[in-house]
Amino acid sequence: MKKTGFIFDLDGVIVDTAKYHYLAWRKLANELGFEFTQEQNELFKGVSRKRCLEILLEIGKIKASQEQFNRWLVEKNEDYLSLIEKMDESEILPDVQRVLKFLKKHNMPIALGSASKNARPILEKVNLMDYFDAIVDGTQVTKAKPDPEVFLLAAAQMGVNPKECVVFEDAVAGIVAANNAGMLSIGIGEEKVLSEAKFVFADFTEMDDNFLNRLLEQTP
């Protein structure tokens, strides 16, 4: 089937803000008296901020009142925002702009489908906002991936049938969400991790124009 809508996740697909999230979560964990490792941070991929804090507190075996929980959520986000303040175009992952330009040249609608509540300021900082016809982020969704809500909303905002959409994702939960939405899932990362994706590329440098043309014309 000809694909007429393209949806991108943000973290790990367009930019790598995972390192900033990790530093902010680690700072909070240290303030609460325990260590938080890079390996444990893998549990946070594609997960909402609220669920991330729940996991963090489970790791640290810490019980929190609702007031503490809400305060720590705000504290973590403020630390994260201060870290991303200096982001610029150098943070865009390899060949992302080439693919976005290719799709724009062919007048394809492009959407962002991300759990991040900071998607808009990040896109502005790296000068990519103008490529996107629709932005669906954590401020608009109530269900986390693997629920397909974020991608179905993106398709609706683009005015495209979900079955005609392609999703670029780096997280297992995101791939499952795309599949649940009936969309064509393309994994960005390791094939052994993203085995449920229809196609997997280590990054966009592996995705040549021939492959993109095939997506526009007919699913390979």
Domain identity same for 171 and 95: yes
The confidence score (pLDDT) of residue 181 equals: 97
Q: Which residues contact 204 (CB under 8 A, 6 or more apart)?
A: 93, 94, 95, 96, 98, 99, 188
Domain region containing 74: 18-84
Dist. CA 109–CA 87, nearest whole Å: 26
Domain identity same for 93 and 175: yes
Domain identity same for 112 and 22: no
Phi first, then psi, for residue 141 (nearest 5°) are -105, 150
The confidence score (pLDDT) of residue 218 equals: 46
Domain identity same for 125 and 27: no
Tell me which residue of 218, 185, 181, 219 sits closest to 199, measured CA to CA: 185
| Residue 9 falls in the annotated catalytic set | yes
pLDDT in tens, the chain (220 residues): 477 999 999 999 999 888 899 999 999 999 999 999 999 998 887 778 899 999 999 999 999 999 999 999 999 999 999 999 989 999 999 999 999 999 999 999 999 999 888 899 999 999 999 999 999 998 999 898 999 999 999 999 999 999 999 999 999 999 999 999 999 999 999 999 999 999 999 999 999 999 999 999 843 3
Domain identity same for 46 and 125: no
- The neighbour count for residue 10, using CB atoms within 10 Å, is 23
Q: Is 104 annotated as a binding residue?
A: no
Q: Is 118 annotated as a binding residue?
A: yes
Domain identity same for 71 and 95: no
Strand partners, 212: none
Q: Is 170 annotated as a binding residue?
A: yes
The confidence score (pLDDT) of residue 115 equals: 86
Q: What is the mean pLDDT of the chain?
A: 93
- For the chain, give the DSSP string: ----EEEE-SBTTTB--HHHHHHHHHHHHHHTT----HHHHGGGTT--HHHHHHHHHHHTT----HHHHHHHHHHHHHHHHHHHTT--GGGBPTTHHHHHHHHHHTT--EEEE-S-TTHHHHHHHTT-GGG-SEEE-TTT-SS-TTSTHHHHHHHHHHT--GGGEEEEESSHHHHHHHHHTTPEEEEES-TTTSTTSSEEESSGGG--HHHHHHHHH---
| The two structure tokens encoding residue 70 | 């809400």
Domain identity same for 73 and 104: no
Kindly report the pTM of this predicted structure.
0.84
The domain boundary, picked from 47, 67, 84, lies at: 84
The confidence score (pLDDT) of residue 17 equals: 85
Domain identity same for 66 and 98: no
* CATH number for 76: 1.10.150.240
The confidence score (pLDDT) of residue 219 equals: 39
Domain identity same for 26 and 105: no
The confidence score (pLDDT) of residue 3 equals: 74
Q: Is 115 annotated as a binding residue?
A: yes
* CATH number for 117: 3.40.50.1000
The domain boundary, picked from 67, 84, 101, lies at: 84
Q: Is 100 annotated as a binding residue?
A: no
Domain identity same for 75 and 162: no
Asked if omega into 146 is within 30° of 0 (cis), the reply is yes
Domain identity same for 206 and 187: yes
The confidence score (pLDDT) of residue 220 equals: 38
**Number of domains the chain contains:** 2
Indicate which residue of 9, 79, 133, 137 is catalytic.
9
| Residue 137 falls in the annotated catalytic set | no
Domain identity same for 69 and 10: no
The domain boundary, picked from 84, 99, 120, lies at: 84
